[in-house]
A and B are shown apart, each in its own frame.
Chain A
Amino acid sequence: MSDLLDTLTEDLKPVKPLRSRPLWLGALVGLIVAALYIWFLYGPRPELVALIGGDWPDRHMPVLKPLMFLALGIGALWGVAGLVKPEGRPKLRYLLPVLIIGGIVFGNLLVEYQREGWDRMADNLSGGVMICYVTILCGGMAGLIVLWRLWLRRSATSHPIALGALSGLATASLMAAAYALHCQGDAPVYLLLVYGVAVAILTGIAALLGGKLLRW
C-alpha cells in the first residue's frame, strides 16, 4: 500500500477541476457554427427571412420548431452536466423537455390522424427526408466527437449509458434546431418520424458508445 501511495503522490501535478461552463460555452459555439452552416449553405426558410424584415409569420412553427429542439438540447445538456461526476444521478427533470415536447407532438399527430387519416398524413413525408436524416445524424455525430474530445473523456460518471444517451440527445437536438432554420417540414408526422427518429438514432448510438467509452 505504501508503494501505491508513493507512486500516486510522486510528482503530483495540479489538476483543473471539471467545470460545466466549458460544456455550455462549447455547445453555444457549436450551435452558432451549425446555424451559420445551415443558413449559408442550405439557406433559411422564407418565413425566417421575412421575420428578420419585421414580418411575423402567419404560423408559429417556423419560429417554434427551432426553439423546440433548442429546449430539448438544453435539457439534455443539463443532464450531461449533472451526470458527469461520480455522485451525479439520473433525474426525471433531465427528460422533462423530451416528455413535454414529445407528448405535444404525439398528441397533435393523433388529432391529425383522426382528422385526415394516414394517407394524407404520409404526403407530408415526401420532401427532404434523407437530407434531414443525414444532416442531423452527421452534424450530431460531429458534435458528439468534439464533445468527447474536449470534455466528456474527462468525466467519471456512475451512469455511462445514461450520460452517453444524453450527450447524443443534446448534440442531435442542437443540430436539429440548426437544421430547422432551413427545413419547412412542420407536420407532426414529419417531426416525429424524421426529426424524432434521427435524434433517437443518435441517442441510441451515443448510449451504446457511452456504455463502452465512459467506463472507468
Chain B
Amino acid sequence: MRSAQAGDAAAYRALLEALRPWLIAYFRRRLMGSTGEDLVQMTLLSLHEKRHTYDPNAPFLPWIAAVARHKLIDYVRKNGRHVHVELNEELGLEDGMQPDLAARDVAVLLAQLPKDQARIIKLHKLDGLSVEEVSAQTGKSASAIKVTVHRGLKKLQALVGIKETGQ
C-alpha cells in the first residue's frame, strides 16, 4: 500500500489482486453465502478513492477491514438486509488474507514495542518456542517471560483497537 501511495501501479495491482479473495471471503461470511461481487468492486473503488487515509506506519489489516465493514454496512442499509456485524472483529487468515500481508502487519506492530519485548513475543508466539526455551535464550526467568508476553499482547491489542474480552 505504501508503494501504491507512491504511485507504483504494479505493486498496487498486486495488492488489489491479493485483496480480492479476502474481500470475497469477508463478505461471504457476513452475507450468508452470497459472494457480494458488486460489494467487492465497491470496496476496491473506495479503497482507491480513499487510499490517502491509510497511514504508511500503521498496520494494513485494521484499515482495510474498516473500509470493508463500512461498505458492508452501507450496502446492508441500502438493500435492507439483516446481517450480523461484529463491533470487534477477528481479522486474519480465516478470511483468506494473504500471509505476506498479515506478516507485514505483525512486523509493523512489533516494531512499536520495545525491542526486548518484541523479540520475546516473536520467539514465543511466532517461532513457537516454549516459555522455558525463550527463558534460556534470553536469560530472563520464566515468569518474567510470561509477564512480558502478556503485557506485550495487551499493547498490541490496543494498537489495533481490540478491547480485552477476558478470554
Measured CB to CB, the residues of A under 8 A from B are 1, 4-5, 8-10, 12-18, 84-87, 89, 154-156, 158, 215-216
Contacts and interface: CB of A to CB of B under 8 A. Distances in A.
A157 to B, nearest CB: 9
Given A16-B52, A17-B52, A85 B63 contact: yes
A14 B70 contact: no
Contacts of A17: 5, 52-56
B62 A87 contact: yes
Interface residues of B, number: 36
A18 B50 CA distance: 10
A87 B41 contact: no
Contacts of B45: 4, 8
B7 to A, nearest CB: 4
Nearest to B63: A87
Contact of A15 (B40, B41, B51): B51
Contacts of A1: 20, 37, 40-41
Interface stretch (B10-18, B107-115, B125-133): B10-18
B16 A216 contact: no
B46 interface: yes
B67 A89 contact: no
A8 B44 contact: yes
Given A154-B52, A216-B49, A87 B66 contact: yes
> Chain B: interface secondary structure?
helix
Given A85-B63, A155-B53, A14 B5 contact: yes
A85 B28 CA distance: 25
A104 to B, nearest CB: 30
Contacts of B54: 17, 85
Contacts of B48: 8
B83 interface: no
Contacts of A10: 9
A79 to B, nearest CB: 15
Contacts of B16: 5, 8-9
B6 A216 contact: no
A5 B17 contact: yes
Given A8-B16, A17-B56, A86 B70 contact: yes
B41 A86 contact: no
28 contacts: A1-B20, A1-B41, A5-B13, A5-B17, A8-B12, A8-B16, A9-B9, A12-B4, A12-B7, A15-B5, A16-B52, A17-B5, A17-B53, A17-B54, A17-B55, A17-B56, A18-B53, A85-B53, A85-B54, A86-B63, A87-B63, A87-B161, A89-B161, A154-B53, A156-B53, A156-B67, A156-B70, A216-B49
A155 B49 CA distance: 10
Top 7 A-B residue pairs of the complex, sorted by shortest distance between their CB atoms: A86-B66, A14-B7, A156-B50, A87-B66, A15-B52, A12-B9, A156-B53
A16 B54 CA distance: 10
B160 to A, nearest CB: 8
A71 to B, nearest CB: 25
Interface string B53-94: 111100000110111011000100000000000000000000
Contacts of B51: 15
Contact of A158 (B8, B37, B44, B66): B66
Contacts of B46: 156, 216
Contacts of A155: 53
Residue with the highest number of chain A CB atoms closer than 10 Å, among B20, B62, B66: B66
